[in-house]
């Protein structure tokens, strides 16, 4: 067949064909292949914690991660008909907060017990206990927490005050610091504690001049009574955890470093994760006491790590406890206490055993988090970390010292030099006399000057990771931020702040509660800042804390909390 040329299309048809070809070519070269976001947060003042882009107007989220962070105009290109748009109303948006030291199970349980936080007199304490006991007549034990030493005559509680409030059943009220229990006569009788009962190792039964127990039990002596308290059922613990999760979402806390109690609740936490109810991410430590660790400990840890290793629940190293607290004189000090001549407190580990434990922990590539409050305990922890680092080489274990309330001046630079993270809880430095009075009295004027030396550690190249130690104080990061930048109590006292040289800037405080916390949990590549590719954890807050007077930071409320792209708290 002879070749026949095609007829030319009509002029109008040729124009349409040319236009279509042009459009195809144009869209092929300039096609917007951006995936549609599930959620876009816009009209916001986003403080990203990303030094390359400190502020942004909008963020687009898909599959639990940030797709885009930047201008509101550009974020529109990620929207589709199905995209949920959250208008932040011009409010401040921050990365979700991380609590780097918490006892989440205990804190959750405390929400249903007597809350004695903020009490200043015996009468106020008794009234709260009486009210709770009357409202819970069927509770076999009356339990509570939150009192502080200075509220009582002589700085220590007595059973007679608790007998007056709860005469009909055993009662136990734990000090806010968790290191002293106050029990009534019924509890003492149930536990068989009398004049002839010996003090346990690492514990003291406080006695009067006749040798009679007063109802105050220091450190491990608390276990003489607490072992008689019925263990909560799995359902009771599950219900408590749900209350705790709701509280965390309300306060803007999206990840916690569990420092005791969480390891035993891993399976319950995983149940909540599998049903979609877990709204806080958990890095969980396993607590090891002297003279461990044993092979049984390591098997328990490795079994748990094999079972729980995801972005919601993971193992976060080993917790060690080296001393007590300054308020009751049980923290280990280099020199005697001011008010207890001859007493330096006590280490809970033999130094050689502690160093051996740290070396083994680090040799396995695990982080050690050591409770060390007194300057002697802090020095031993630093010594152990330094020796373990020499033995293990350049292992990135990121050891932590928890609390570090009174660091010897010569040891402050060692945090930066050794890469040791200072796990501080700013709310513990509330200078309210009832809260801090016994602490200041016990250390004396020279050591007081080194109290809670956040700025000194930071200036010496150290890293900060802030937390609460809930239920010692509230889980809320907002009063903690205020105290960190003012060194004042929440009423603004003392003028100028207590030891103002240790204040930190608000930017540094927020860093310690976000990216600093993420670094302390080996999570900084995926969490802690608002930038593309990271997990979409953010909070929208009621006021711009960078613009209000510092004395109002504690009044901040969380308007919205997002965890992994899912809104878990919405008070708009």
CB 146, CB 116: distance < 8 Å: yes
Closest by Cα among 336, 331, 337 to 401? 331
SS3 203: strand
- Alpha-helical regions (H) of 79-135: 104-110, 122-135
Of 19-33, 47-61, 69-83, 272-286, where does mean pLDDT reach its minimum? 19-33
Residues of the chain with CATH 3.10.310.70: 104-226
What are the tokens at 442? 């016990």
pLDDT given at position 341: 78
State pLDDT tens for residues 379-417.
Answer: 999 999 999 999 987 689 999 999 999 999 999 999 999
Closest by Cα among 334, 331, 341 to 370? 331
CB 377, CB 330: distance < 8 Å: no
Question: Higher pLDDT residue, 341 or 326?
Answer: 326
pLDDT given at position 12: 44
Question: Higher pLDDT residue, 376 or 13?
Answer: 376
State pLDDT tens for residues 195-249.
Answer: 999 999 889 999 999 999 999 999 999 999 999 999 999 999 999 999 999 999 9
**Cα within 13 Å of Cα(490), Cβ side:** 13
State pLDDT tens for residues 528-558.
Answer: 999 999 999 999 999 999 999 999 999 999 9
Cβ-based neighbours of 194, under 8 Å, separated by 6 or more: 188, 213
State pLDDT tens for residues 278-312.
Answer: 999 999 999 999 998 999 999 999 999 999 999 99
pLDDT given at position 23: 39
pLDDT given at position 393: 79
Pairing state between β 171-175 and 180-183: antiparallel
Closest by Cα among 510, 489, 487 to 499? 487
State which fold the 104-226 domain adopts. Answer: Diaminopimelate Epimerase; Chain A, domain 1 (3.10.310)
pLDDT at 9 over 70: no
In the chain, the percentage of residues whose pLDDT exceeds 70 is 94
Residues of the chain with CATH 2.30.40.10: 33-95+528-572
How many other C-beta atoms lie within 10 A of the C-beta of residue 315?
23
pLDDT given at position 7: 39
pLDDT at 32 over 90: no
What are the tokens at 63? 């599959």
What are the tokens at 374? 């007194």
Residues of the chain with CATH 3.20.20.140: 234-523
Closest by Cα among 222, 139, 138 to 183? 222
State pLDDT tens for residues 138-152.
Answer: 999 999 999 999 999
State pLDDT tens for residues 343-371.
Answer: 999 999 999 999 999 999 999 999 999 99
pLDDT given at position 62: 97
pLDDT given at position 33: 61
CA atoms 393, 395, 396, 399: torsion sign: negative
pLDDT at 28 over 70: no
pLDDT at 19 over 60: no
For Cα atoms 477, 481, 484, give the angle at the middle one, nearest 5 degrees.
Answer: 135
- Respond yes or no on whether the N-terminal peptide bond of residue 293 is cis (omega within 30° of 0): yes
pLDDT given at position 392: 83
pLDDT at 342 over 50: yes
CB 59, CB 530: distance < 8 Å: yes
pLDDT given at position 533: 97
State pLDDT tens for residues 469-521.
Answer: 999 999 999 999 999 999 999 999 999 999 999 999 999 999 999 999 999 99
pLDDT given at position 202: 87
Closest by Cα among 107, 147, 172, 91 to 475? 107
User: Residue 159: what are its φ and ψ, rounded to 5°?
Assistant: -60, -30
SS3 567: strand
Top CATH class of 234-523 equals alpha beta
User: Residue 258: what are its φ and ψ, rounded to 5°?
Assistant: -75, 120
Closest by Cα among 208, 212, 146 to 181? 146
**Which H or E run contains 68?**
strand 65-70
* The domain over range 33-95+528-572 is classified in CATH as 2.30.40.10: yes
Across the chain, mean pLDDT equals 93
With cut-offs at 50, 70 and 90, classify the pLDDT of residue 18: very low
pLDDT given at position 47: 98
**Which H or E run contains 173?**
strand 171-175
CA 442, 330, 204, 471: dihedral to nearest 10 degrees? 100
Looking at the chain, how many residues does it have?
Answer: 572
d(CA 41, CA 176): 39
């Amino acid at each position: 067949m002879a070749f026949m040329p095609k007829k030319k299309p009509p002029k109008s048809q040729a124009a349409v064909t040319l236009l279509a070809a042009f459009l195809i070519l144009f869209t092929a070269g300039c096609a917007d292949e951006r995936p549609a976001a599930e959620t876009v947060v816009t009209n916001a003042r986003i403080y990203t914690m990303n030094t390359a882009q400190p502020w942004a107007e909008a963020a687009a989220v898909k599959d639990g991660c940030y797709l885009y962070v930047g201008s509101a105009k550009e974020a529109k290109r990620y929207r589709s008909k199905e995209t949920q748009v959250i208008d932040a109303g011009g409010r401040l948006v921050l990365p979700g907060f991380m609590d780097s030291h918490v006892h989440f199970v205990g804190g959750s349980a405390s929400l249903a017990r007597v809350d004695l936080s903020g009490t200043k007199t015996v009468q106020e304490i008794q009234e709260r206990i009486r009210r709770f006991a009357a409202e819970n007549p069927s509770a076999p034990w009356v339990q509570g927490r939150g009192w502080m030493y200075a509220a009582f005559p002589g700085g220590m509680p007595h059973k007679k005050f608790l007998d007056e409030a709860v005469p009909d059943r055993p009662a136990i009220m734990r000090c806010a610091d968790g290191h002293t229990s106050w029990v009534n006569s019924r509890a003492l009788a149930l536990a068989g504690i009398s004049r002839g009962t010996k003090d346990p190792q690492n514990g003291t039964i406080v006695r009067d001049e006749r040798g009679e127990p007063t109802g105050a039990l220091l450190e491990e002596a608390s276990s003489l009574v607490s072992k008689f308290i019925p263990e909560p059922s799995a359902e009771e613990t599950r219900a408590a955890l749900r209350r705790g999760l709701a509280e965390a979402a309300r306060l803007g806390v999206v990840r916690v470093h569990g420092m005791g109690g969480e390891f035993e609740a891993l399976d319950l936490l995983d149940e909540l994760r599998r049903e979609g109810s877990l709204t806080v991410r958990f890095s969980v430590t396993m607590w090891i006491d002297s003279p461990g660790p044993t092979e049984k400990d390591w098997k328990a840890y490795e079994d748990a790590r094999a079972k729980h290793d995801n972005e919601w629940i993971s193992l976060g190293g080993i917790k060690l406890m080296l001393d007590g607290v300054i308020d009751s004189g049980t923290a280990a000090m280099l020199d005697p206490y001011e008010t207890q001549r001859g007493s330096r407190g006590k280490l809970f580990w033999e130094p050689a055993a502690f160093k051996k434990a740290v070396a083994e922990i680090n040799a396995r590539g695990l982080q050690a988090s050591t409770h060390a409050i007194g300057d002697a305990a802090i020095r031993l922890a630093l010594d152990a970390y330094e020796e373990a680092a020499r033995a293990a080489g350049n292992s990135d274990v990121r050891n932590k010292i928890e609390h570090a309330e009174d660091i010897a001046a010569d040891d402050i630079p060692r945090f930066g030099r050794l890469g040791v993270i200072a796990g501080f809880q700013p709310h513990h430095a509330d200078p309210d006399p009832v809260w801090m009075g016994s602490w200041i009295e016990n250390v004396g004027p020279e050591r007081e000057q080194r109290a809670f030396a956040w700025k000194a550690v930071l200036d010496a190249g150290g890293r900060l990771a802030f937390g609460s130690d809930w239920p010692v104080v509230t889980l809320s990061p907002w009063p903690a931020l205020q105290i960190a930048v003012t060194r004042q109590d929440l009423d603004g006292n003392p003028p100028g702040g207590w030891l103002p040289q240790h204040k930190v800037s608000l930017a540094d405080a927020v860093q310690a509660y976000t990216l600093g916390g993420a670094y302390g949990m080996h999570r900084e590549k995926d969490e802690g800042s608002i930038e593309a590719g990271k997990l979409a954890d953010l909070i929208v807050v009621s006021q711009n804390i960078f613009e209000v007077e510092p004395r109002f930071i504690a009044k901040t409320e969380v308007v919205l909390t997002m965890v992994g792209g899912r809104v878990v708290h919405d008070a708009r």
